[in-house]
Amino acid sequence: MSSLVFLDPAYPAGRLADITAPQLLVTAQGVTRGDGIFESMLYTNQAVRKFEAHLARLATSAEVADLIIPDARSWFAAVDTAVADFDATGGAEEAVVKLVAARGEHDSDPAICWVTVTPAPALGKEQRETGVDVLLLDRGYDSKLAERAPWLMMGAKTLSYSINMAALRYARKHGAHDVIFTSADGIILEAPTSTVLVAQRDGETKRLLTPMLETGILPGTTQSAIFDAAAQDGWELGYGPLRPEDLYQADGVFLVSSIRLLTPVRTIDAKPLRLDAELHEQLSALSDAIR
């Protein structure tokens, strides 16, 4: 079973609601315009991973989107209520805790905020083991756009994911599992629901690279946690710009995200990639240890 809790000033611990019943006004701008923000977190072993990092990103997204959202204490309380209900009704080994803040009917309305807990999709877990085949797809803008056009809210985690989902469907129709977006000027950006990591081995040196945030990609909480752990473990770290040839020449290319964790990329545009087994094992251990 899945659980739903609304953040509601009249209910300090959050208001439990029926996830199978209609709950939102059809006139809310969160619905009619996809105007809102969200976070997806992994709940496993009785704990939500990287909760503070997700709340910090939610707060940044709220600021960028001019949404007034409840304080961290209200989110913690609502999530506690939601996961307790989820566990009491069967639970799951891995679950997705989603935080959503959607704009109401009028701009001056407080955001409509809720938490859902649902079992994590089995496919993500499977792909962690098997790896994924990826297409490089043009995102249609250049890598400097985010700096020129702050009103585009790039780098905020907004509800408007229809392009990301369409790109994934396109990949599936063309025999792949996932997508890595490139900018119009040929720079590697991100995947529709994950961050790109590149591992390189250079003699004794292990290096981990990721695209730079200035391209307008979402600052990944998983990438950040893996970078922190890798630095402790003696890896060199670096930030793009990365180009397709950097992926083809890498000793491992990975998609990382809170729910699917570390997923190796097997092929890009049907060309096989190298995957250094030892680097893969070390990165998987770092990713599994994230709390």
Applying CB under 6 A, the residues found at the interface with ligand PLP are: 40, 190, 192-195, 218, 220-223, 256-258
Minimum distance, C-beta of residue 190 to ligand PLP, in the bound complex (Å): 4
* Minimum CB distance to ligand PLP smaller for 50 or for 103: 50
Closest Cα to residue 261, out of 30, 26, 42?
42
* Minimum CB distance to ligand PLP smaller for 65 or for 256: 256
* Minimum CB distance to ligand PLP smaller for 190 or for 251: 190
- Taken as a whole, the chain contains a residue count of 291
Q: Which single residue is written with the structure tokens 């509800």?
A: 159
What is the full DSSP assignment across 8-62? ETTEEEEEEE-TTS--S-TT-HHHHS--EEEEEEEEETTEETTHHHHHHHHHHHH
Q: Which single residue is written with the structure tokens 């019943």?
A: 21
Minimum distance, C-beta of residue 260 to ligand PLP, in the bound complex (Å): 9
Minimum distance, C-beta of residue 170 to ligand PLP, in the bound complex (Å): 16
286 exposed, middle or buried (CB, 10 Å; 0-12, 13-18, 19+)?
buried
* Minimum CB distance to ligand PLP smaller for 60 or for 267: 60
* Minimum CB distance to ligand PLP smaller for 15 or for 98: 98
Q: Would you state the structure tokens that stand for residue 212, as one six-digit string?
A: 């730079």
Nearest-angstrom CA–CA distance, 166 and 193? 12
Minimum distance, C-beta of residue 194 to ligand PLP, in the bound complex (Å): 5
Minimum distance, C-beta of residue 259 to ligand PLP, in the bound complex (Å): 7
